[in-house]
Structure 1
Amino acid sequence: MSATLPSERRYRERAFMEALQKLGRMPAGLTLPAVVILLVVFAIPTIELFLTSLNAPSYSLVNYHSFFEQRANVVILWQTITMSVVATVICVIIGYPTSYLIVAAPKPLRITLVVLVLIPWLTSGLVRTYAWTVILGDRGLINNLLIYFGLIASPLTLVYNRLGVYIGMVHIMLPMMILPLLSVMQGIDKSLMAAARSMGAPPFAAFWRVFLPLSLPGVRSGSLLVFVVCLGFYITPQALGGLSDAMLSNVIAAQVQNSVDLAPIATAAFILLAIAMVVLSLFGVDLSGTQARRSRLSTRPRLNRLISVVSGARYFNEIANRYRAKRWMNQVYEVAHGSVWSKIAGAVFIALVLVYLLCPGFVVIVMSFSDAAFLEFPPSSFSLRWYWAFLGDPAWTGALWTSVQIGFAVTILSTFVGTLAAYGLSRTPSKLRSVLTMVILTPIVIPVIVVGVAAYLGLADIGLLGSKTGIILAHSIGANASVVVIVSAALANFDRQLELAAKSMRAGPLKTFTRVTLPLIRPGIIAGAVFAFIGSFDDVVVTSLVSALAVPTLPLKMMENIKQQIEPTIAAVGSLLTVLPLLWLAALYLVWRRSKLSIPHLLAEPTP
C-alpha cells in the first residue's frame, strides 16, 4: 500500500505536467496571463458591480429607479451624452478635411504632418488641459491678443464654462479622430477619383459618390472611439468647466472618494457602460478591416452607375467631343495638383489645425521659463527658476520617481503578457480569436471611469487598494490591450513561411521565435512598450481611484496643484512632459530604421 501511493502521486504529477505542456502548445493558452489579470482586476469586479446595481441577492431595479428619479442625475446624464456628441461632431468636421489634406500632400510633407499630429496625442492630457486654463483665462493669450489689437475692451469669458470644455475636449480627441481617417483614406485607390473625373464627373460629384463612401469606415471608427472616450471624460470638465458643466464621470469619481455605498456608484457606472455598449453594438468598430473592404465593394455599383450616366451624357454631346476630351484631361490633372486657390485654402486650414493642436504645448514651454511668481504669457523675464524649484522639491521629485517606477513595471509586465497574447491570438482559429480579442480589448473600448471603478473594487477585494502593486495591475489591463493591438498589427504583416523555413533547418520552436520571429516583430514590441509606459505614466482617472491618496504619482500631484494653486512649477513639469513625446518618436524611428537595416542581414543569415 505504501509503495502504491508514491507511484500514484508520480503518475498524477506526470499527468499534470503533460496537461500543462499540452496547454502551452495550444496557441490560445498564451493569452492566459492576460485573461487572468483581466478577470481578477476588471471582469469579476465588473460582474460584482452589476449584481450590486441590481440590489443582489433580492434582484430589483430599485437602484436604477432611484437614479432616474433624481432630476439632477438625469440632467447630468443627458449633459454627458450631449457634450460627447457635440465634441464628436466637431472632431469629424475638423478631422475629415484635415485627414484628406494630409493624405493628398506629397509623401515627405505627409510624414511631417502625421508626426505633428502625433506629438500632441502623445503629450500628457493633463498638461494640455492645464495649458488651456492659461490660454483661455482672463489674462491668457487669447484675451491679451484681442485687447492688444483693440478688438475688445474687457476680457471675454472663455474658460470655466461649456465653451472651454468643448475646446479642451476637441483638442484632446482630434488626433484620435484623424488617425483612423488617415488609415482608411491612405488605402483608397486614388485612380477611382481620376476615373470618375475622366468620365466627366464634376470634382464635388466625384468626391461625394466615390471618395466619401470609401472613407466612411474611418469616420465611423473615429467617431465611435471619440464618443466612447468622451463619455468617460473626467479631468477636462473639472478643470475647464463650471459647476453646471459636470459630466457623469465627475459624479461617479466624487461618490467613490466620499461614499461607502457602492449601489449608486455601480448604478451610475453601468448606465454609462450601457450607453457605450449600445453604441458600440450598433456601430461597432471593426479592427479587422473587413468593413472597409465591404464598403469598397458596395460602392463599386455606385461608381459603375455614375460612369454609365456620364457616358450617356457624353453620347448626346459628341459635337463638342474634342473640347470635352481636352477639358476632362485637364480635370484629371487637377485631381493630383489642384488649383492655386485650393492649395492656399488647404495650407491655411492645415496651419490653423496644427496651431490649435501644438499651441498649448508651446505656451507651456515658454511659460516654464518665466521668472515671475505667477503664470504669465509672454513672460516678462526669463530664467530657470521653476525648473530648479521642481528639482529641489522632494514632493515633486518623489512623485516623478513613483510614476517612473510604476511606468516601468507596467511596461515590463504588459510587454511580456501582451506579446504572448498577441502571438497566441495570431495562431488561434478565427472564431476563438475574435472572442479572446474582444475580451482583452474591452478595457480600452469602454469609458475609463468604469474601468477605474471596477479596478477599485477588484483591488479592494484582494487587499491591494492604495498600493503600488495595485496601481501596476490596474494600469496593466489597459496597457496589455494596447500592446496586443500593436504587436498583432506587426504579426499581421509577418510571413510565417520564414518560421517554417527555420524549422525545416532543424531549428526548435524557441530558437525559431528568438532568431526569426522576434527580430522581425521587435519594432512592434518596442512601440507597444512605449505606449504602455505613456499610458501608465499619464494616467489620472484610474490612479486617482485606486491609489486611495496613498501613492502620490506625478499626474496626481499636478492635478492637486492645479486645484489648489496654479504656480509656474507646474509649467516646468508640463514643459518636460511636452518634450517627452519627441524622445518617444525619435526612439521609435531609430528602432524602425535599425530594423529595416537589419532585416536583410537577418534573412541572409543561416539558422543553425
Structure 2
Amino acid sequence: MQIIQKLGRLPIVLTFPGLALLLVVFGIPIVLLFLTSLSAPDFSLANYSAFLSNSANVGVLLQTIEISVIATIICILIGYPTAYLIVAASKPLRVVLLVLVIIPYLTSFLARTYAWIVILGDSGLINNILLHFGLISSPLQLIFNRMAVYIGMVHIMLPMMILPLVSVMMGIDKSLISAARSMGARPFTAFWRVFIPLSLPGVRSGSLLVFVICLGFYITPAALGGLGDAMLSTFIAAQVQTTFELAGIATSSFVLLAIAVTMLSMVGLDLSGSSDQGTPLRKSWPSRVISVSALNRYLGELSAPSRARRWTAHLYKSGGGNGWSKISGSAFIGLVMTFLLFPEIVVIIMSFSAGAFLEFPPSGLSLQWYRSFFGDPVWYGATQTSIKIGIVVTILSTVFGTLAAYGLSRSDALTRRSVTMMILAPITIPAIVVGVATYLGLIKLGLIGSVTGIVLAHSIGAMGYVVVIVSATMANFDRRLEQAAQSMRAGPLQTFMRVTLPLIRPGIIGGALFAFLHSFDEVVSTSLVSGFSVYTLPLKMWENIRNEVDPTVAAVASLLTLLPVLWLVALYVAWWRSRAADQEALSKATI
C-alpha cells in the first residue's frame, strides 16, 4: 500500500492515462506488426528479402526517397531566405508575414490539394488563361505528373520548414553579425560565416520534419500524380484495401519506418555540428576541402591591406542594404506568400461561380455550391460526423495531453525525453505506418467501422500536439507561484485549479484547437479505420476529388480555408484575456 501511495506522488504517473491509450491503440499493434514482418515465431528476414528482391518494390521505394528528398531540398531553398526576410522585417510586418504563413499551415491539406487540381487541371486556371490569350491551342498536361506532385507537396510542407527556421533565427544575437562587419567582413561573408552556422539547428529540424512527413505522403501524390508517381504509402494503402496480405503490409511499413528512423538517428548524432578535434582527419574529401579553405585564407591574407582601407572608408556608413536588395527581397517574399495563399484565394472565388462548372474568373456570382453543400444530407451528415468526432477527440486528447505535459514538466530530464518521444511517435513517423498499426490494434478491439474506433485513432495523434503546446507553456511557468499557494495551505488540487490552470490556459486552448484541426483534417487513418461505414468530411471530400471533382468541393474547401482564421482569432482572444488577467492580478498585488 505504501508503494502505491509513493507511486501516486510521482509526477510521471500523470502520463499513464495517455500512455495507456497510446499503448493499446498504437504501441502493442506496431510491435506485433514488426514481429509479423520477421515471420514470428520463426524469426527470419524472408519477408524483407522478398521485398528487396522485387524490382517493382525497390523502384517504388527509391522513388519515394527521391520525391521526399527533392521536395525537402526545394523547401529549404525557398524556406530559408523566406524565414530570413521575415526575421529581418520590422515587428508589425513580421507579425503579418507569420500570420500569412500560419494560415495555410492550419488549412486542410485536402483543401490545398484540391486547389492545385483546380489550378493545374485541363480546364483549370492556368490552361484557361493560356487558351484565352491564344498562347496554346490545346490544354497543357500540368497535372498527373511529377511536377504537380512537387508543387503540391512543397505548398503543403513549406510552412513546416519556415516556422522552425524563424524560431531559431529569432534567437540569434544580431550583434554577432555587427561584430563580424566591424572586423572588416563583407555582408555576405558575415552572413555565411556567422549567421548560417547559428541557424543550422533550424535547418536540421525543419528538413527532418519535412522529409519524414513526405515519406508518408499518400493523398497528394495520388491526387496530383500519375501512375508512375506512386509512393510506398500508396502501395501500402492499396495492399490494406485489397489483398490484406499482412506479412507484405508489415514489411513495407517497416521498410518505410526504417528510413525515417535512420534519418532521425543520423540527425540526432550531433545536433551541434561540432566535430571531435582530437581525432585525426583522414585524407578524404573533407581534408581536401580544408586544404582549399587554407588556400582561400592565404589569398585573403594577401588582400588584407586593401580590405583594411575599404573597411576604414565604410566604417561610419549606414549598414542598411541597397535599394536593389530591398526590392529583390520584397519581390521574393511577395512571390512566396502568393504561392502559399493564391490557391486558397482562387478556390474561394471560384466557389461563388454561377456556371455549371468551376471557372476563373466566374462569369457570374452565385451561392449554388454552398446551397448544394448545406442541402445535401450526405455532405451535411459527413460534416456533422466530423464535428462530433473532433469534439470528443479534443476533449479526450486535451485532458490526457495536459496531464501528461504537467507530469513531464516535473519529471527528470531522462524520463521526460523518453516519454515525450513515445507520445510524439504517432506524429513523427510516416502517417501510413501509424494508420496500419492503428488499424490492426482496433481490429483486436472490434472497433473497425465505428465512431469510437475513429476517435481513438485520431486521439493518439492529437494528444501529441497538446503535449507539445502545453509543455511549451509550462516551460515558461514560474513554479514559485505554486509554492507560494502551498505555503498558504492550499492543497495540490486547489493549487492546480486556482494558480496553475489559469496561467497555462492559453496553452491548453491552443493545444485543444490543434487537436480539433488534426481530427477534422485526418484522412489516412480514417480511410483505414472507418471500414467504409463511417463517413467524415475529409473522406467525403477525398471520394469526390478522386471520382468526379464535384464543384461542391470548392464550397467545402473555401469553408475549410476560412476555418484557420477563426482559430487564430480564438487564440488571440484567449491570449488577450490571459494577458489582461495577469495585468489585473499584478495591479492588485502592487496596491
1:508 is aligned to 491
Residues 83-104 of structure 1: CA deviation (Å, up to 9, x unaligned): 0000000000000000000000
1:38-53 → structure 2 map (5 Å cutoff): 38-53=22-37
8 Å contact from structure 1 (residues 456, 545) kept in 2 = yes
Query: Is residue 2:466 matched to residue 1:487?
Result: no
CA distance in 1, matches of 2:336, 2:137: 28
Query: Is residue 2:190 matched to residue 1:203?
Result: no
Gaps of 5+ in 2: 276-293
Instruction: Please identify, of 68-77 and 408-417, the stretch whose mean Cα deviation from structure 2 is larger.
Output: 68-77
CA distance in 2, matches of 1:201, 1:310: 15
CA distance in 2, matches of 1:293, 1:270: 29
2:282 is aligned to none
CA distance in 1, matches of 2:304, 2:56: 66
Q: For residues 462 and 589 of structure 1, do their structure 2 counterparts lie closer, same or farther at Cα, with a shift above 3 Å needed?
A: same
Amino acid at match of 2:153: M
1:9 is aligned to none
Query: Is residue 2:396 matched to residue 1:416?
Result: no
8 Å contact from structure 1 (residues 363, 377) kept in 2 = yes
CA distance in 2, matches of 1:516, 1:377: 54
Q: Offset at 1:340?
A: 1.1
CA distance in 2, matches of 1:315, 1:548: 72
Query: Is residue 2:463 matched to residue 1:476?
Result: no
1:401 is aligned to 384
Q: Offset at 1:504?
A: 1.4
1:300 is aligned to none
Q: Offset at 1:68?
A: 1.4
1:262-273 → structure 2 map (5 Å cutoff): 262-273=246-257
CA distance in 2, matches of 1:478, 1:139: 37
Residues 251-276 of structure 1: CA deviation (Å, up to 9, x unaligned): 10111111232110000000000000
8 Å contact from structure 1 (residues 365, 572) kept in 2 = yes
Q: % of aligned pairs identical? A: 64
1:139-158 → structure 2 map (5 Å cutoff): 139-158=123-142
- Indicate the SS of the match to 1:329: coil
2:479 is aligned to 496
Alignment counterpart, residue 460 of structure 1, candidates 430, 443, 457: 443
Alignment counterpart, residue 246 of structure 1, candidates 230, 236, 241: 230
CA distance in 2, matches of 1:56, 1:350: 54
8 Å contact from structure 1 (residues 38, 477) kept in 2 = yes
Amino acid at match of 2:312: A
1:314-463 → structure 2 map (5 Å cutoff): 316=305, 324-330=311-317, 333-334=318-319, 337-463=320-446
CA distance in 2, matches of 1:315, 1:250: 58
Alignment counterpart, residue 586 of structure 1, candidates 554, 566, 569: 569
- What's the TM-score once normalised by structure 1's chain length? 0.90
Q: For residues 387 and 454 of structure 1, do their structure 2 counterparts lie closer, same or farther at Cα, with a shift above 3 Å needed?
A: same
Query: Is residue 2:146 matched to residue 1:162?
Result: yes
CA distance in 2, matches of 1:121, 1:108: 20
CA distance in 2, matches of 1:313, 1:103: 36
CA distance in 1, matches of 2:147, 2:572: 37
8 Å contact from structure 1 (residues 367, 375) kept in 2 = yes
CA RMSD of aligned residues (A): 2.2
CA distance in 2, matches of 1:528, 1:383: 37
1:70-219 → structure 2 map (5 Å cutoff): 70-219=54-203
- Indicate the SS of the match to 1:195: helix
- Indicate the SS of the match to 1:253: helix
8 Å contact from structure 1 (residues 224, 285) kept in 2 = no
- Indicate the SS of the match to 1:338: coil
Amino acid at match of 1:569: T
Q: For residues 447 and 466 of structure 1, do their structure 2 counterparts lie closer, same or farther at Cα, with a shift above 3 Å needed?
A: same
Q: Offset at 1:550?
A: 1.2
Q: Offset at 1:437?
A: 1.0
Q: Offset at 1:511?
A: 1.4
Instruction: Please identify, of 411-420 and 149-158, the stretch whose mean Cα deviation from structure 2 is larger.
Output: 149-158
Q: Offset at 1:324?
A: 3.5
Instruction: Please identify, of 511-520 and 217-226, the stretch whose mean Cα deviation from structure 2 is larger.
Output: 511-520
Amino acid at match of 1:494: F
Amino acid at match of 1:544: S
Amino acid at match of 1:252: I
Amino acid at match of 2:11: P
CA distance in 2, matches of 1:429, 1:42: 25
Query: Is residue 2:543 matched to residue 1:556?
Result: no
1:11 is aligned to none
Amino acid at match of 1:22: K
Q: Offset at 1:402?
A: 0.3
- What's the TM-score once normalised by structure 2's chain length? 0.93
Q: Offset at 1:123?
A: 0.4
8 Å contact from structure 1 (residues 198, 329) kept in 2 = no
Q: Offset at 1:598?
A: 0.7
Q: For residues 55 and 507 of structure 1, do their structure 2 counterparts lie closer, same or farther at Cα, with a shift above 3 Å needed?
A: same
Q: Offset at 1:60?
A: 1.1
2:49 is aligned to 65
- Indicate the SS of the match to 1:283: helix
Amino acid at match of 1:406: I
- Indicate the SS of the match to 2:366: coil
Q: Offset at 1:191?
A: 0.9
Q: Offset at 1:605?
A: 5.8
Q: Offset at 1:140?
A: 1.5
CA distance in 1, matches of 2:198, 2:355: 53
8 Å contact from structure 1 (residues 372, 380) kept in 2 = yes
CA distance in 1, matches of 2:349, 2:269: 40
CA distance in 2, matches of 1:389, 1:252: 35
Instruction: Please identify, of 455-464 and 369-378, the stretch whose mean Cα deviation from structure 2 is larger.
Output: 369-378
Q: Offset at 1:168?
A: 0.2
Q: Offset at 1:316?
A: 4.5
CA distance in 2, matches of 1:442, 1:182: 24
CA distance in 2, matches of 1:512, 1:294: 44
CA distance in 2, matches of 1:543, 1:276: 22
Residues 553-588 of structure 1: CA deviation (Å, up to 9, x unaligned): 000000111111112111111111010000000100
Gaps of 5+ in 1: 1-14, 296-304
8 Å contact from structure 1 (residues 197, 328) kept in 2 = no
1:261 is aligned to 245
Amino acid at match of 2:351: S
Instruction: Please identify, of 58-67 and 241-250, the stretch whose mean Cα deviation from structure 2 is larger.
Output: 58-67
Q: Offset at 1:149?
A: 4.3
- Indicate the SS of the match to 1:555: helix
CA distance in 2, matches of 1:278, 1:484: 25
Query: Is residue 2:580 matched to residue 1:597?
Result: yes
- Indicate the SS of the match to 1:58: coil
Q: For residues 339 and 437 of structure 1, do their structure 2 counterparts lie closer, same or farther at Cα, with a shift above 3 Å needed?
A: same
Alignment counterpart, residue 55 of structure 1, candidates 30, 36, 39: 39
CA distance in 1, matches of 2:140, 2:269: 40
Amino acid at match of 2:115: A
Q: For residues 537 and 50 of structure 1, do their structure 2 counterparts lie closer, same or farther at Cα, with a shift above 3 Å needed?
A: same
CA distance in 1, matches of 2:203, 2:11: 34
CA distance in 2, matches of 1:471, 1:376: 36
8 Å contact from structure 1 (residues 475, 536) kept in 2 = yes
8 Å contact from structure 1 (residues 220, 285) kept in 2 = no
Query: Is residue 2:500 matched to residue 1:517?
Result: yes
CA distance in 1, matches of 2:304, 2:36: 71
CA distance in 1, matches of 2:84, 2:299: 25
